[in-house]
Amino acid sequence: MLSVFYLLSSLAVTLAQRNSGITLAVGPKCGTLSGAPLDVNAGLLPLAQYRTLVAFGDSYTDGGIRTGAPLLPAILTPPSPKAGGRTTNGPVWAEGLTMDTGATIMDYAVGGAVTDAKLWPSKSTASDFKTQVSLFTSQNNNLNPNTTLYAVFFGINDVAASGKDGIANLPIAAQTILDQIKLLTQAPTNARSFLVVDISGQGKPNTAADAFRQKYFTGLGALHSSISEFRLAFVNFLPLWTGVLGTTPGFKAFGYTSSGSCTINSSTTDGACSDPAHTFFWIPGHPSKETHRIMADYVERVLVECSV
């Protein structure tokens, strides 16, 4: 009995220490591929069966090396606030998935990226999904479709650009996500497993973001129906963002002491807060490493709990 007591006590300490005590206080909102864009796993294999994760996206997914090559250690070297080039103070959410499975990450995400830079005058020099896919396919990586998972995380910068350039091109931006995914399913890549992630409105009421998300979510359902062996999970981080930034359950329920950021900007650690482990954001508008960890936890729960 005494040994059981110590085992349970040790487990409690371990759980309390994990991720600086920051934990998920909300769970997925599961749905289906028809209707509203809720969390769904439509056929992805268990995460541990994927040996390679190919990631496309913006600063939320950018691991600092944008060519698919091995990432640098996620270590801060002040005064730079970017750990190994990441727009955060540690590993990004996609790295969390590979840390849990031992898979290899090939990261092509670039900070500030949109779906198609030609759609947005204010983002005309930005990276985009089309360019990232083009780089990946030009490398002739010859990855096994059965053990490779493709992560796609766009929308934040498209929605932001639409606030400056007008919303007329948002439906085209949504279609671009679908077109690039379909391109990856074709030879020579023959991709079959996709993890599509969204927080395009960043947790704030935004009808343009809602319409953008709905359009490509509906299109993902059509791809799933029309392409043989197309495996898909969609993760909407909205419950996490609204859970922290709103009052239900509020940031303290997750273990945070602040729903704000630690650094004053993306250029320096000078003037940063004294307790970075307990702020939702690290750089303004960009998740801390603890937040990235629970983003990975949220994804993993969707894959287990939201199968259809």
The strand pairing partners of 16, in sequence order, are none
> Is 188 within the bounds of a domain?
yes
Q: CATH number of the domain at 289, please.
A: 3.40.50.1110
> Is 34 within the bounds of a domain?
no
Tens of pLDDT, residue by residue over 261-293, are 999 999 999 999 999 999 999 999 999 999 999
Top pLDDT among 80 and 10 is at 80
Tens of pLDDT, residue by residue over 39-69, are 999 999 999 999 999 999 999 999 999 999 9
* Structure token digits, residue 287: 């998740």
What is the pTM for the complete model shown? Answer: 0.94
Strand runs (DSSP E) across the chain, as ranges? Answer: 40-42, 52-57, 104-107, 148-153, 193-198, 231-236
> Is 198 within the bounds of a domain?
yes
> Is 10 within the bounds of a domain?
no
Q: Which pLDDT belongs to residue 176?
A: 98
Mean model confidence pLDDT for the chain:
95
Q: Which pLDDT belongs to residue 14?
A: 52
Please give the residue range of the domain that contains residue 197: 39-305
HEC string of 179-245 equals HHHHHHHCCCCCCCEEEEEECCCCCCCCHHHHHHHHHHHHHHHHHHHHCCCCEEEEEECHHHHHHHH
Q: Which pLDDT belongs to residue 287?
A: 98
> Is 231 within the bounds of a domain?
yes
> Is 236 within the bounds of a domain?
yes
> Is 29 within the bounds of a domain?
no
- pLDDT exceeds cutoff 80 at 6: no
Please tell me the total count of domains within the chain.
1
Tens of pLDDT, residue by residue over 78-93, are 999 999 999 999 999 9
> Is 9 within the bounds of a domain?
no
Q: Which pLDDT belongs to residue 17?
A: 72
- φ and ψ at residue 180, rounded to 5 degrees: -70, -35
